[in-house]
Amino acid sequence: MIEPAGSPAMATASTFVDRSPADCWRLFIDAAALTAWVPGLRRARVVATDPRGRAQEVAFEFAASRTYTLVYTYDDADRRLSWTPRLGQRDGVAGWARFDAEDAGTRVTYATAAGDGRTADERAIDEPRALLAAFARWAATAR
């Protein structure tokens, strides 16, 4: 992926999840479940939905009063979700996640680029390996 000039670098990681791609996709795009696995997330509120009823824009509230909204774009055929910040862009993150069949489970690839307003500690929370590990732990038992 080529990043536009002046944009923050995308950090990318992947992991194997012992669930089907359809299960991982369904779990990942469930905005109501985000607080169950995203570290430090106090609240995720759906601001707008797409014609299929999926979250199109979500407001995020973290500790230390960090808030922002992300706008989601779904590619169902490739099981790829992309997001860009709308409100609170300096605190928000841009990124994407993709879910590919691998053996009897799913290879989840996750990429993020943090906004300029993030502290080093906040950037560590958004580190793709940490977020993927949190998702994989949660997805192992989620219904």
Distances (CA, A) of 89 to 26, 63, 86: 27, 17, 6
- Other C-beta atoms closer than 10 Å to the C-beta of 64 total 9
Residue 68 pLDDT: 85
Residue 5 pLDDT: 36
Both tokens of residue 131? 């977020």
Distances (CA, A) of 88 to 6, 58, 65: 18, 12, 11
Report d(CA 55, CA 46) in Å as an integer.
6
Residue 93 pLDDT: 82
pTM for this one? 0.86
Give the angle subtended at the CA of 91 by the CAs of 78 and 5, to the nearest 5°: 65
Cα atoms in the 13 Å half-sphere on the side-chain side of 103 = 8
Both tokens of residue 114? 């943090």
Give, for all 143 residues of the chain, the pLDDT tens digit: 333 334 457 889 999 999 999 999 999 999 999 999 998 889 999 999 999 999 999 999 887 667 889 999 999 999 999 999 888 656 678 899 999 999 999 999 999 887 666 667 666 667 889 889 999 999 999 98
Contacting residues for 137 by C-beta, under 8 A, at least 6 apart? 37
Residue 62 pLDDT: 80
Residue 135 pLDDT: 95
